[in-house]
Amino acid sequence: MQIRDILGMKGGTIFSIAPEGRLATAVDLMVSNDIGSLVVMRDGVMVGMLTFREVLQELNVRAGNLGDARAGDVMNAAPISGASSDSVDHARETMTANHVRYLPILDKDELLGVISFHDIAKAVIKQADFENRLLKRYIKHWPEEQERKA
Domain ranges of the chain: 3-121
Residue 64 region, left (φ>0) first, then alpha (ψ -120 to 50), else beta?
left
pLDDT reading at 117 higher than 60: yes
Look over the chain and give the mean of its residue pLDDT values, rounded to a whole number: 90
pTM of the model: 0.81
**At 116, which helix (H) or strand (E)?**
strand 110-116
Would you state the CATH architecture of domain 3-121? Roll (3.10)
pLDDT classification of 113: cutoffs 50, 70, 90: very high
Strand 37-42 relative to strand 16-17, pairing: parallel
pLDDT of amino acid 147: 58
pLDDT reading at 143 higher than 90: no
Query: What's phi and psi for 103, nearest 5 deg?
Result: -130, 110
Half-sphere exposure of 77 (CA within 13 A, CB side): 4
Percent of the chain clearing pLDDT 90 (strictly above): 70
